[in-house]
Amino acid sequence: MTGFARLLEPPRLRTRGRDVDEQRRATWLELFFDLVFVAAVSQLANALSAEPTTARFFEFLGLFVPVWWAWMGFTFYANRFDTDDLVYRLLMLCAMFGVAVLATTIPSVFEGATRGFPIAYVAVRIVLVTLYARTIRHVAEARALATSFVGAFSFSLLIWLASLAVDRPWAYLLWGVALAIELAAPIPAWRLLRDAPVDRRHLPERFGLLTLIVLGESVLAVVLGVSKVSWDSGSAVAAAMGFMVAAALWWIYFDFLDEGALTARGIFGGLTYTYMNYFVVAGLTALGVGVKLAIFASGGDHHYDGTSWVLSAGLALTMAGLGVIQLVAGTVVIDTDVVLRLLTAAIALVLIPFGLSPLAVVAIFAFVLAAQVVYELARHETHTHTEEI
């Protein structure tokens, strides 16, 4: 193939035929694409840390959905159809710029704005629809699946645009309807997925990279928290415990998470693995915010003394997501790993009504998670997660 032909190579289904035996790895473009989402996640985290209230927390969770789903859309497209030709690269770069713009609109949404965010989101999704339209033309075996997605996503875009004509709360209602259509799109497409399956080796790596980026945000929260308070015994302990929490969660995810959900239970397991990823990454982001607030509180800023619930809610979401993934991963429905994940989530929730100090809560979580890592290291003989990540 000539260099010029390589630049104009049409998409192909990479999960069939000769491409199945390829050892897929995340491309440099995929890694670049992931980094753009750091900006959006950071904006969401900053909004929560600026106003750690229950109402803001649920707003944070709601706005996290379209940001996360935008990443999912391009990840699944690339998993099946990425040929890395010129057209694909240019469209992906356009999407990245759209995500960057989307990130700049997030603070205004929390202030009540209803215009900039949907416009940016529509622009990002139009790029994805364009990619699938290109697939309809060039990939006959995946034409039915691509047509299904183009129809569902295009209809949701019309609803997003319609939201521009109304004010709150109706605009938010239309956003929710549009997102529900997008999130449900893979379900009626179940029967079509057999003709265009995903690469079950490539997806765990992509999900793992997103998780790693969000964990990096938690570590950054520790750094930022320490940089803004005096370095005394309280803030030092909070920082150390917060880092221990992040390290333990990294260990649990990358050494002990069973990817069998992608294969053991067919499409049901794959969709569960996908949707539960939202709770994992949203929870990790909230947990990072909670660690930063714990450092502030431990450093003498009493405005954050009552924010330990953010830590608890973040860990509960994360461990519940991991627990459900583990639940559908193998032949044994309830095993020790599932019990450990769900028990940790329950402990996090039980602590909320007690109103303990953020320092106490982050210390409890650090020791609970560290004990879990030690137990699993003794119990697992081999790693269950992809070792090459």
Q: Which secondary-structure segment (H or E) carries 367?
A: helix 358-379
- Residues of the chain with pLDDT below 70 are 1-7, 15-24, 193-195, 225-226, 229-231, 259-267, 330-333, 380-389
Q: Tell me the C-alpha distance between 74 and 292, whole Å.
A: 31
Structural contact between residues 261 and 328, judged by C-beta atoms closer than 8 angstroms = yes
Q: How many H helices and E strands in the chain?
A: 14, 0
Structural contact between residues 323 and 345, judged by C-beta atoms closer than 8 angstroms = yes
Q: ω into residue 169 within 30 of 0, thus cis?
A: yes
Classify residue 23 by its DSSP letter. Answer: -
The Cα angle at residue 62 between residues 60 and 68, in degrees rounded to 5: 90
- What would the DSSP string read from start to end of 42-94? HHHHHHHHHS--HHHHHHHHHHHHHHHHHHHHHHHHHHHH----HHHHHHHHH
Structural contact between residues 389 and 254, judged by C-beta atoms closer than 8 angstroms = yes
Could you tell me the pTM of the whole model? Answer: 0.90
Q: Tell me the C-alpha distance between 251 and 257, whole Å.
A: 9
Q: Tell me the C-alpha distance between 244 and 369, whole Å.
A: 8
As given in the structure block, the two tokens for residue 189 are 């497409």
Residue reference for tokens 């890395």: 84
Give the three-class secondary structure for 68.
Answer: helix
pLDDT, tens digit, for every residue of 260-300?
656 555 667 778 888 999 999 999 999 999 999 999 888 87
Helix, strand, coil percentages (3-state) for the chain, rounded to 5, are 80, 0, 20
